[in-house]
Amino acid sequence: MNQHNIKYLQIFLFFAFIIVVSTATAQKNDTVYFLNGDRVSGEIKSYKYGYMNYKTYGVSTVDIKYDKIATFYSNKNYEIIFKDGRRRFGSFAKSHLDQFVNIVTTNDTILTPLIEVIEITPIKNRFWKRLSGNVDLGYSYSKASTVSQLNFSSNLKYQQKNYFTRLQLNSNITDQKNQDRTDKNDASLSIYRRLKKSWFGLGTFSSERNSELGLDLRLQGGLGVGNEIVHTNSNNLLAALGVMVNKEWSIDTTEARVNVDGFVGVSYRLFRFKDPEIDITSNFITYPSFTVKNRWRINFDIKVKIEIINDMYFSLSFYDNYDSEPASDAASNNDFGVTTSLGYSF
């Protein structure tokens, strides 16, 4: 390499170093102050369930329990959720009182006990930084029964200031020798609008297929309203209700029928942050039909996730779907299953 090229290489490496250092500094300019007098600089990833997920300059990510924190500083934008359901948007300034934080909003600075804060979520400026979620994949096969089963699920959340969008995908495919393939697939896209305190409005669109229930395809959309009844450091309970319009095709006919249904749903989440982390989520939704007499559809699922290492986990899931008047006369009224899988959260 000649001297001319070496000079340009040195200049390139110098500016690359400056960019990397500047980027790292820009991303990790938060400071946590501990009750023992120590402090550490890094980046606040999130705060929930009484723990702060914190990325230090040394690349490592740690979970800091709230009772070790004196106060903290960050000039980034966050969504802050309180015990009573109130929400604020702002940054954090250092407090001179232990176990307190100064929440800096557009018009005010609010001195707040840390114990009153339930959740802190960064409001990122970049699209990809606003995404979070998990992906699960599982497979099983038995030679004796010639049964193979593939299951996949994904839950993606896109965070904005007053809205968040959730995309959920689930697929369960079962093959057996000399038997027809059975499959259960569904996808849903929901948009949540935060209202006063713990209230929210929602709009949702989904598609569903379930061969066991004789359903070739169901497309449905609707609007509703809900309330986050409980939101603490260890559990979360919310309920919602609304109206859905759907169009469905059975597996034995090309004709479609249009239905109008109500929906009432309850979701509960229980979380333990101690090693190993355990996350239990259950959902119960019932759809009373306004257009088909005595028709009820009920969907129930529960999922247990146990952390293996860092963001990887093992999951055990159970689902049960019921339809009192299935799309096909020859179909079953009920479909249920148990799946195991490995997953990754991000």
pLDDT of residue 59: 60
**CATH number of the domain that 263 lies in?**
2.40.160.40
pLDDT of residue 161: 78
How far is Cα 190 from Cα 72, in angstroms, rounded to an integer?
Answer: 34
Q: Which one of 91, 123, 155 terminates a domain?
A: 123
Do residue 88 and residue 136 come from a single domain?
Answer: no
Q: What does pTM read for this prediction?
A: 0.76
Local structure of 5: helix, strand or coil: helix
Closest to 210 in 3D by CA, of 332, 28, 40: 332
In this predicted model, what pLDDT tens digit does every residue of 235-249 receive, in sequence order?
Answer: 899 999 999 999 999
Residues 6+ positions from 74 with CB-CB distance below 8 Å: 29, 30, 31, 44, 91, 92
Do residue 119 and residue 135 come from a single domain?
Answer: no
Do residue 197 and residue 325 come from a single domain?
Answer: yes
Do residue 311 and residue 171 come from a single domain?
Answer: yes
Query: Which residue range is the domain that position 34 belongs to?
Result: 30-123
In this predicted model, what pLDDT tens digit does every residue of 47-59 receive, in sequence order?
Answer: 988 889 898 876 6
179, amino acid identity: Q
Structurally, how many domains does the chain consist of?
A: 2
Closest to 237 in 3D by CA, of 293, 192, 282: 282
Do residue 166 and residue 66 come from a single domain?
Answer: no
How far is Cα 182 from Cα 151, in angstroms, rounded to an integer?
Answer: 12
In this predicted model, what pLDDT tens digit does every residue of 57-70 receive, in sequence order?
Answer: 766 788 898 999 99
Do residue 92 and residue 149 come from a single domain?
Answer: no
How far is Cα 213 from Cα 337, in angstroms, rounded to an integer?
Answer: 13
